[in-house]
Amino acid sequence: MKMRCQKARKYVSLAMDRRLGPEASHELAEHLSACPACRERQQEQAWLLELVNASPGLQPSPRFYAALREKIDHDLARPKLFAFSPAPLRPALLRAAMFLILAISAMFGFILSGRLDAPAATTPAAVFDQTLNLNAYADMPADSFGAVYDRLLQGEFR
Amino acid sequence: MTETASDEELLRLAAAGDQHAFALLVQRHQSRVFNLAYRFSRDRQDAEELAQEIFFKVWRHARSFRGDSLFSTWLYRLAVNSCLNHRQGKKARPEPHTLTGDLPAGSAADAAGDGLVAAEMETRLRAALDSLPARQRVALALASFEDKSYEDIAAAMEVSVPAVESLLFRARQNLAAILRPLRKKGEL
């Protein structure tokens, strides 16, 4: 009994759906002939399959399509966004709307950046103030990396 | 011409506004979709509404069907998603299922004179199926009731084939574990 029971039970499930190749089927048969517990599980699965297959199929009511048509007609009657435009134009309209939103955002971006831009700094100390004002280094010991870096940024070593 | 057209052709016509083509498409698939919905919902009314919702989505998204898969694969994907969403949206109802009223007249069970036993078995089976996790139930419904291949189930559920194997294996193990005591007692 080389095959493990867990694998055999997986094979039983596959065999029920006719998904087991000849070699695997042979392996399974060998295992089942030597393992009563898996044989019992196989019989149980066969019984389950029979039980499930015996479950009756049903038909929808004769009014099924009529009710569906009512839903569709109701939906068609509702006013919709872009309803004024012919359907083939709608993707183009959506793209145009997206482009417009992007263009307006970019325009506002340019305007705001122009307003917020301070005059360019000319001295190292001014550059430091505008960009890398790292006050966190202020209280560090004079020979620490942070303090030296702070002094470097301020142009002390030039 | 329309009666012999493929599903994909009918969908293309339906997308262009051909009501007859859409009606034919629904007629071809309504029974399968309804039965799949029925395995999920708790009663006929719910199943009918769910199946209608699925076909409504077909109508609505007909234009977006690109034709890179079969219509049936696309339909089942819509159906599976709708069923899973429907299940998530509904709170579990505790009452047991009785299928007695839904058994077709003159069924084999009735003919054998043991309709009550068959209905009881059906009720217990449905209760057991209902207790499975939703995705295991979908896989089992598609494999057992719809006789779909693993590849079709994988496409409908948007998972891999080994994932389908695993879902079906676990579904059957769970179902067997639930029904085993009844089988041993001889109640099923």
Which one-letter amino acid corresponds to residue B126?
Answer: R
Asked if A55 contacts B125 with a C-beta cutoff of 8 angstroms, the reply is: yes
Mean residue pLDDT of chain A comes to 82
Q: Does B120 touch chain A if contact means CB atoms closer than 8 Å? A: no
Sign of CA dihedral A97, A100, A106, A107: negative
- The larger pLDDT score, comparing residue B102 to residue B71, is at B71
Q: Is residue B169 within 8 angstroms of chain A, CB to CB?
A: yes
CB contact under 8 A, A51 and B165: no
| Shortest alpha-carbon distance between residue A92 and chain B (Å) | 16
Indicate whether B2 pLDDT > 80: no
Query: With an 8 Å Cβ cutoff, is A41 touching chain B?
Result: yes
The predicted model scores a pTM of 0.64
Are A65 and B59 an interchain contact pair (Cβ–Cβ within 8 Å)?
no
What tens digit of pLDDT does each residue of A125-153 get? 777 666 666 566 667 787 888 788 877 87
Predicted confidence (pLDDT) per residue in A74-93, tens digit: 888 877 665 666 667 778 88
pLDDT at position B88 is 64
Collapsed DSSP state (helix, strand, coil) of residue B69: coil
Q: How far apart are the first and last CA of chain B?
A: 50
pLDDT in tens, A22-49: 999 999 999 999 999 999 999 988 888 8
- Contact across the interface for A64 and B52, Cβ inside 8 Å: yes
Per the CB < 8 A criterion, the answer to whether B188 and A51 are in contact is yes
Taking the Cβ of residue A57 and every Cβ of chain B, the question of whether any pair is shorter than 8 Å is answered with yes
For residue B172, list chain A residues with Cβ-Cβ distance below 8 A. Answer: 13, 16, 45, 48
Within an 8 Å CB–CB cutoff, is residue B175 touching chain A?
yes
- The ipTM value here is 0.71
Put simply, the answer to whether B26 touches A65 (Cβ < 8 Å) is: yes
Whether residue A108 has pLDDT greater than 80:
yes
* Chain A with chain B: Cβ pairs closer than 8 A: 93
Half-sphere exposure at residue B167, Cβ-oriented, CA atoms within 13 angstroms = 24
Alpha carbon A51 to its chain centroid, in Å, reads 39
Left (φ > 0), alpha (ψ -120 to 50) or beta: where does A41 sit?
A: alpha
Q: Is the pLDDT assigned to residue B60 strictly greater than 50?
A: yes
